[in-house]
A and B are shown apart, each in its own frame.
Chain A
Amino acid sequence: MSGFFERLLRRETNSAYQAKERMKTVLINDRVNMTSSTLDNLKSEIIGVISRHVEIDSDAVRIEMTHEGRQQRLIANIPLKPPRRRSSG
């Protein structure tokens, strides 16, 4: 079992692994030409719009860039708050 972790550790320190991880981020940014501050603005505006209609857990909102092949995709995960129970009596 320790062999497995050693291999994993070695993998993460080798330079090819680092190159690949760095390139994943660089290529996504190059392809969509979107800065992290643009993404932050987008996120707060989305939260604003949706909050006007339903109650959401704004701290748990996640907006992420993913890709399938060369197709980039913006994924938004917006958890809703459970409806408040009306107190009876």
Chain B
Amino acid sequence: MSYLEYSVKTVPAGLRKVLHLNWPLVLLLTAVASVGFLMLYSVAGGSFEPWAGPQMKRYILGLVLMFMVAMVPIWFWRNLSVVAYLLSIVLLVVVEFFGSVGMGAQRWIDFGFVRLQPSELMKFTLVMLLAAYYDWLPIRKTSGILWVIIPVIMILLPTAMVLTQPDLGTALLLVFGGGLMMFLAGVHWAYFATVFAAGIGGIATVLKSRDTDWQLLKDYQFRRIDTFIDPSSDPLGAGYHITQAKIAMGSGGWTGRGFMQGTQSRLNFLPEKHTDFIFNTLAEEFGFVGAVSLLILYVLILVFCITSALQNRDRFSSLLILGVGLTFFLYFAVNMSMVMGLAPVVGVPLPLVSYGGSAMLVLMVAFGLVQSAHIHRPR
């Protein structure tokens, strides 16, 4: 069956595609982004400047990009997977040499109108490439050792580059995201069991490397681990941030202290309150009710992604949707764990809510792909 054959009659064409968009997903994304606007407005002390306004403009731009990407048939994007991946790799190399340094790590390229973080892009192009790879690979070869090594290299290459920036958070997201893509594609259980065992060994090795000549992580990364295990060990340094974040979160109580009434964020006790720790402001001002509501919105987005993927009989589309959903999940799960003291502080933003340009645009493009796969699914 040629792709012309499986698409022409059944797939909507022209403007009719708009009707076939996954509209609930669009609404959910907008709802989450709106929570972001509200909180950015609040942490700025009741002002659209400097964060809420630009964030809204970027969201609208993101929405436009999403629609544009969604209009293009999914097979077109599939064929671009390799190019997108390679482009991301090139950008990672560029950022290594010409990137601007922020927070001690080389992370972004300044294009003037937007600061692009190639590592953000990489998360989704990797998903695309792996989906395309397993779409191309005959199913019976999926668990062949050679065919397992190839995607592993695809994952580890950008991971290694991101680690040198160094950006532990993104590196972990890449490994987990990529690994779970392979799992979804049907790679044999045994591989995962092996990697899991090796991972435990690896962590042990990394921890052991501390204060030796071959130390594998930077000192500040080790300190973050220490702080995570016992925030009070460093109450005025890194531990201060997580302690204050937890206070903000917990002091919200059931219904919160009221919009723009959060003392922890308003009086600047809360660090990075417009980026990594924005969830704490929400939790402080809207309490348990507000925090769980946002979590439910996130979960609904996931549910719509998974439903859409399971309905889709195209292997690439299905893998891609699940992959994007998974990456999205990893984003908010890691961020929330981190700000609630369940995980070390690794610098992962809260998707669509945290202030940040490229993360939001890249995410919207990724959801554009999800929409495209949804519209152009075989019927």
Chains A and B form a bound pair: no
Interface residues in chain B, defined as those with a beta carbon under 8 Å from any beta carbon in chain A: none
Interface residues in chain A, defined as those with a beta carbon under 8 Å from any beta carbon in chain B: none
